[in-house]
């Protein structure tokens, strides 16, 4: 069957389609049906089945005789180390860790926060939680204590598993003080913490609360897999919305297993045993789905890469890892390729390695600009597939179904909708638009298995954020169009979310931080175009009357405040003091106009602007930061 036939087979019988895919998963109790409507426009998949994620990702491969296959390769150019863990070893390590967690009281349904860098122990912690039916919430290491505290208060974890440190080029990230700071800030306190001590930094452990990763596992009884319902949350992953309060995206167990397993062959075109590499971080959805779960569920070898595309040690790192570990499918973000391209524009490093093992490269996380795709095609000679998805969906909404049929690539488009997704372009009033017309991208409900059923402790917010604007649809927050051939084009966000180096950030959240500066009366944060990172946040602050301090001092404090409150990952370095912000007569800040001026794009003076002269002041401030030069 080609793509069209597969898509139509899903369309004609969605539940039959997914029930058939569910056969590839081991169930303790098979689900009686696929889809359950549990409230108005609320759906769950495989809700009455019983299964266990860890069993499907680890134990079943050992039982099937593949225990000797490498499950995880930890390749760390930052520490200069390489480790391989087989499926048998992984089972033993995870069962022991789960046993130790259980001995300290962690049970099905308890939340566990994981705050770890790119080490295999991060995956083991995730899997140990799944083994017990505990719900993990991984927090990205680039977030500051405050962001961690917000997640602790929302998820209310029984335990936190962390590493002593992370390693960024030229800098040790001291996780333990960040963790201690977060626990101090949070109202909820975990019962205990487990600290994985890295040799680069041994952290102080607090008596009675903190346990050493190894010591705490000593002599415990390994835990077996605990069967959970298909609609039991496997994890919560917080992602940016329009405000500083992150949204806790829930992933249910059954749909997650079925959908991810389906993607490995049909989208990424790998067979069990093949090496699959997603160069992301476990703190992001790409890391959850494609460093940890999908490759393991499908019986692949996954690579945990602790390094950067450039500088660890050079722009040849990607090609070295691909060739050394015989990677068949590689997944990264366009920004990573832009970094490599900047250092090695002619792709000379590629020639130093044999990458004939590689079938194709997949890009996601942000818009893949045609220059980057063409460069990657040229220097690698491999197919480059853009694909579009979100934390909310957990897997591809639109992409290249390479394992079904390699369709023609259209540069600038992430290709076609996957089975499960009825993607439509809607106008403001919710009417479908014609091919080629730009509008809001929405997906007809129900969403497929593996996507979010709701938000953690926030059903109202779930409805408001995603379901209320276009009744009967899931609102993606992206705008774009579909062409005559059914290819999708993603053009922009329709909300205040920006994308910095493939990281999703909230300008609203940054505004909340700036507004907390005692001298700031009012502020706006916008996303401006950046050659490397796609977008960069830029802040404008108006000072409280009577504040007479030097502006550069205040700007420095604002930059530090965002780094301290949100984290270095926000990459907030551009900020200016201005007298006033451009607004409409009703008081709405004209952020979109500011973005256009910054990016030197043509713009129409908004008819409702209160005082057009303010835009000149903004332009001068932008020029001072190296923008609005055209």
| Binding residues vs ligand AMP (CB under 6 A) | 239, 285, 364-368, 386-391, 414, 476-478, 490, 493, 499, 504
Judged by CB under 6 A, does residue 537 bind ligand COA? no
Query: At its nearest, how many Å lie between ligand COA and the CB of residue 513?
Result: 16
Q: Which does 577 bind (CB under 5 to 8 A by kind): ligand AMP, ligand COA, none?
A: none
| Identified binder of ligand COA from the candidate list 67, 120, 142, 527, rule CB under 6 A | 142
Q: Which does 53 bind (CB under 5 to 8 A by kind): ligand AMP, ligand COA, none?
A: none
Per CB under 6 A, the segment of 41-49, 333-341, 444-452, 587-595 that binds ligand COA is 333-341
Q: Which does 369 bind (CB under 5 to 8 A by kind): ligand AMP, ligand COA, none?
A: none
Residue window 457-496: x/- pattern of binding to ligand COA, with contact defined by CB under 6 A: ----------------------------------------
Contact in structure between 397 and 366 (CB atoms under 8 Å): no
Query: At its nearest, how many Å lie between ligand AMP and the CB of residue 441?
Result: 9
Query: At its nearest, how many Å lie between ligand COA and the CB of residue 292?
Result: 14
* DSSP codes, 73-122: EEEETTTTEEEEEEHHHHHHHHHHHHHHHHHTT--TT-EEEEE--SSHHH
Phi and psi of 58, rounded to 5°?
-130, -70
Query: At its nearest, how many Å lie between ligand AMP and the CB of residue 480?
Result: 8
- How crowded is the C-beta side of 544, counted as CA atoms within 13 Å? 10
Judged by CB under 6 A, does residue 421 bind ligand COA? no
Contact in structure between 380 and 406 (CB atoms under 8 Å): no
Judged by CB under 6 A, does residue 237 bind ligand COA? no
From the list 225, 274, 282, the residue with the least C-alpha distance to 58 is 225
CB nearer ligand COA, residue 127 or residue 364: 364
Residue holding tokens 């030197």? Answer: 600
Q: Which does 388 bind (CB under 5 to 8 A by kind): ligand COA, ligand AMP, none?
A: ligand AMP
Is omega for the bond preceding 413 within 30 degrees of 0, making it cis?
Answer: no
**Collapsed DSSP state (helix, strand, coil) of residue 200:** coil
Burial class (CB in 10 A: 0-12, 13-18, 19+), 289: buried
539 secondary structure, DSSP code: E
Residue 240 CA, distance from chain mean position: 10
Query: At its nearest, how many Å lie between ligand COA and the CB of residue 267?
Result: 15
Strands 534-543 and 159-163: unpaired
CB nearer ligand COA, residue 62 or residue 286: 286
Judged by CB under 6 A, does residue 399 bind ligand COA? no
Q: Which does 391 bind (CB under 5 to 8 A by kind): ligand AMP, ligand COA, none?
A: ligand AMP
CA–CA distance, 535 with 551 (Å, rounded to integer): 25
Residue holding tokens 């789905």? Answer: 289
Query: At its nearest, how many Å lie between ligand AMP and the CB of residue 529?
Result: 14
CB nearer ligand COA, residue 164 or residue 335: 335
CB nearer ligand AMP, residue 425 or residue 554: 425
Per CB under 6 A, the segment of 238-246, 419-427, 462-470, 498-506 that binds ligand COA is 498-506
CA–CA distance, 21 with 32 (Å, rounded to integer): 14
- Helix (H) or strand (E) holding 235, with range, is strand 233-239
From the list 76, 136, 134, the residue with the least C-alpha distance to 307 is 76
From the list 534, 427, 419, 420, the residue with the least C-alpha distance to 479 is 427
Judged by CB under 6 A, does residue 108 bind ligand COA? no
Per CB under 6 A, the segment of 52-60, 144-152, 201-209, 500-508 that binds ligand COA is 500-508
Beta bridge partners of 114: 138, 161
Helix boundaries (H) for 273-332: 285-287, 294-297, 317-325
Edge-to-edge strand order for the sheet containing 275-278? 81-86, 70-76, 301-305, 275-278, 327-332, 360-363, 384-386
Query: At its nearest, how many Å lie between ligand COA and the CB of residue 122?
Result: 11
CB nearer ligand AMP, residue 405 or residue 495: 495
Q: Which does 386 bind (CB under 5 to 8 A by kind): ligand COA, ligand AMP, none?
A: ligand AMP
Judged by CB under 6 A, does residue 386 bind ligand COA? no
Q: How many residues contact ligand COA, by CB under 6 A?
A: 26
Strands 159-163 and 247-252: unpaired
CA–CA distance, 577 with 629 (Å, rounded to integer): 19
Question: Using only C-alpha atoms, what is the Rg of the chain?
Answer: 24
Judged by CB under 6 A, does residue 336 bind ligand COA? yes
| Identified binder of ligand COA from the candidate list 48, 168, 405, 522, rule CB under 6 A | 168
Judged by CB under 6 A, does residue 339 bind ligand COA? yes
| Identified binder of ligand COA from the candidate list 101, 223, 501, 628, rule CB under 6 A | 501
**What residues make contact with ligand COA under the rule CB under 6 A?**
117, 141-142, 166, 168, 173, 280-281, 284, 286, 308-310, 333, 335-336, 339, 364-365, 501-503, 532, 568-569, 571
């Amino acid at each position: 069957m080609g793509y069209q036939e597969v898509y139509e087979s899903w369309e004609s019988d969605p539940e039959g389609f997914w029930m058939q895919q569910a056969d590839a998963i081991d169930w303790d109790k098979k689900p009686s049906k696929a889809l359950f409507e549990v409230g108005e426009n609320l759906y769950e998949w495989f809700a009455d089945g019983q299964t266990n994620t860890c069993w499907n990702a680890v134990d079943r491969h050992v039982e099937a005789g593949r225990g000797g296959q490498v499950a995880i390769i930890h390749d760390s150019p930052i520490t200069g180390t390489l480790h391989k863990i087989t499926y048998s070893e992984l089972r033993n390590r995870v069962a022991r860790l789960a046993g130790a967690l259980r001995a300290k009281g962690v049970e099905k349904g308890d939340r566990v926060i994981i705050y770890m860098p790119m080490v295999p122990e991060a995956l083991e912690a995730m899997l140990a939680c799944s083994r017990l039916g505990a719900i993990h919430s991984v927090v990205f290491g680039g977030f500051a204590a405050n962001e961690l505290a917000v997640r602790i208060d929302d998820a209310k974890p029984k335990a936190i598993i962390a590493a002593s440190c992370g390693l960024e080029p030229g800098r040790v990230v001291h996780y333990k003080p960040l963790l201690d700071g977060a626990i101090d800030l949070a109202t909820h306190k975990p019962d205990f913490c487990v600290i994985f001590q890295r040799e680069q930094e041994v952290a102080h452990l607090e008596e009675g609360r903190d346990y050493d990763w190894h010591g705490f596992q000593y002599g415990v009884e390994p835990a077996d897999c605990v069967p959970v319902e298909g609609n039991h949350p496997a994890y919560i992953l917080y992602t940016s919305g329009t405000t500083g309060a992150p949204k806790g995206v829930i992933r249910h167990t059954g749909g997650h297993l079925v959908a991810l397993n389906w993607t490995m062959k049909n989208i990424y075109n790998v067979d069990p045993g093949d090496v699959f590499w997603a160069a992301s971080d476990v703190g992001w959805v790409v890391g959850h789905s494609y460093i940890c779960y999908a490759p393991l569920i499908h019986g692949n070898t996954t690579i945990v890469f602790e390094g950067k595309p450039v500088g660890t040690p050079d722009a040849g790192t990607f090609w070295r890892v691909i060739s050394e570990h015989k990677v068949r499918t590689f997944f990264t973000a366009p920004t990573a390729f832009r970094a490599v391209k900047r250092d090695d524009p002619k792709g000379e490093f590629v020639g130093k390695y044999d990458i004939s093992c590689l079938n194709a490269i997949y890009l996601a996380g942000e818009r893949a600009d045609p220059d980057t795709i063409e460069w990657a095609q040229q220097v690698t000679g491999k197919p480059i597939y853009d694909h579009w998805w979100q934390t909310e969906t957990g897997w591809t909404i639109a992409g290249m179904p390479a394992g079904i049929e390699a369709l023609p690539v259209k540069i600038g488009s992430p290709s076609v909708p996957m089975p499960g997704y009825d993607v439509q372009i809607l106008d403001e009033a919710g009417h479908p638009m014609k091919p080629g017309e730009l509008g809001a991208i929405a997906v007809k409900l129900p969403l497929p298995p593996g996507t979010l059923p709701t938000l953690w402790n926030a059903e109202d917010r779930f409805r408001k954020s995603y379901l209320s604007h276009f009744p009967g649809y899931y609102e993606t927050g992206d705008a774009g169009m579909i062409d005559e051939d059914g290819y999708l084009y993603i053009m922009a966000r329709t909300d205040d979310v920006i994308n910095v180096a493939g990281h999703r950030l909230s300008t609203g959240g940054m505004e909340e931080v700036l507004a907390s500066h005692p001298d700031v009366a009012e502020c706006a944060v916008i996303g401006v175009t950046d050659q490397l990172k796609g977008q960069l946040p830029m802040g404008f602050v108006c000072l409280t009357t009577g504040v007479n301090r030097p502006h550069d001092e205040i700007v420095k404090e604002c930059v530090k405040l965002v780094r301290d409150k949100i984290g270095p990952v926000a990459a907030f370095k551009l900020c200016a003091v201005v007298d006033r912000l451009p607004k409409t007569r009703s008081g709405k800040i004209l952020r979109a106009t500011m973005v256009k001026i910054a990016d030197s794009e043509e713009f129409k003076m908004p008819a409702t602007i209160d005082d057009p002269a303010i835009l000149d002041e903004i332009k001068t401030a932008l020029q001072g930061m190296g923008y609005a030069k055209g």
